[in-house]
Amino acid sequence: MNSEEDIIEKYVLENILEFGNAKLSAVMGKLMSNHPELRGRAKKLKEIAFDMIEKLNAQPLDETKQLIQRKYPELLSEEKEEVKETKEVDFIRKIINEDMKTGKYNGRVHTRFPPEPNGYLHIGHAVSVNLNYGIAKEYNGKFNLRFDDTNPITEEEEYVKSIIEDVKWLGADWEDRLFFASDYFDRLYEYAVQLIKKGKAYVDDLSVEEIRKLRGTVTELGKESPYRNRSIEENLALFERMKNGEFADGEKVLRAKIDMSHPNLLMRDPVIYRILHRTHHNTGDKWCIYPLYDWAHGLEDSIEGITHSICTLEFEVHRELYDWFLEQLEDEDGNPIFHPQQIEFARLNLSYTVMSKRKLLHLVSEGIVDGWDDPRMPTIAAFRRRGVTPEAIKKFTDGIGVSKRERIVDFSILEHYIREDLEERCPRVMSVIEPLKVIITNYPDDKEEKIEVNNHTRNKDMGKRAITFSKVIYIDNSDFEEKPPEDFYRLAPGRKVKLKYSYTIKCEKVVKDEKTGKIKELHCSYDPDSKTSSTKDDPEVKVSIHWISEKNAIPAEIRLYDRLFLKENPLDVEEGKDFTDYINPDSLKIVKGFVESFLAKAEVGSRYQFERLGYFIIDKDTTKDNLVFNRIITLKDTWSKKLENRK
Candidates 347, 425, 458, 642; catalytic one: 347
Q: Is 577 a catalytic residue?
A: no
How many CA atoms lie within 13 Å of 346's alpha carbon, on the beta-carbon side? 15
Q: Of 54, 116, 320, 521, which is the active-site residue?
A: 116
The torsion angles phi and psi of 126, rounded to 5 degrees, stand at: -60, -35
Q: Is 300 helix (H, G, I), strand (E, B) or coil?
A: helix
121/378 Cα distance (integer angstroms): 9
In whole angstroms, what is the distance from residue 364 CA to residue 346 CA? 27
Catalytic residue chosen out of the listed positions 93, 223, 357, 531: 357
Active site residue 347: yes
**Is-catalytic flag, 357?**
yes
Q: What number of other Cβ atoms are within 10 A of residue 450's Cβ?
A: 10
CA–chain centroid gap for 60, Å, is 27
Burial-class residue 201 by CB neighbours within 10 Å (0-12, 13-18, 19+).
Answer: buried
| C-alpha 619 chain-centroid distance | 18
3-state secondary structure of 32: helix
- CA 360 to chain centroid, in Å, comes to 14
Q: Which residue, among 136, 155, 138, 135, has the nearest Cα to 147 in the 3D structure?
A: 155
Smallest Cα–Cα separation from 280: which of 186, 187, 164, 150? 150
Beta-carbon contacts of 311 under 8 Å, excluding residues fewer than 6 positions away, are: 128, 342, 343, 344, 345
Task: Report the amino acid identity of residue 488.
Answer: F
Contact 69, 80 (CB under 8 A): no
Is 56 in contact with 16 (CB distance < 8 Å)?
Answer: yes
Helix/strand/coil (H/E/C) assignment for every residue in 525-591: EEECCCCCCCHHHCCCCCCEECCEEHHHEEEEEEEEECCCECCCCCCCCCCCCCHHHHECCCCEEEE
329's CB contacts (< 8 A; 6+ apart) are: 191, 194, 195, 299, 336, 337
Q: Strand, helix or coil at 127? A: helix
Q: How far apart are the first and last CA of the chain?
A: 38
**Residue 608 CA: distances (Å) to CA of 306, 383, 556, 615, 623:** 42, 16, 14, 6, 18
- In degrees, rounded to 5, the angle at the alpha carbon of residue 375 between the alpha carbons of residues 573 and 454 is 135
Residue 579, CA distances (Å) to 82, 274, 567, 576 in order: 37, 33, 9, 10
For 459-497, b/e burial (b = at least 16 CB within 10 A) is eeeeeebebbbbbebbbbeebbeeeeeeeebbbbeebbb
Q: Burial letters for 377-401: b for 16+ Cβ neighbours within 10 Å, e otherwise?
A: bbbbbbbbbbbbbbebbbbbbbebe
Active-site positions read: 116, 347, 357
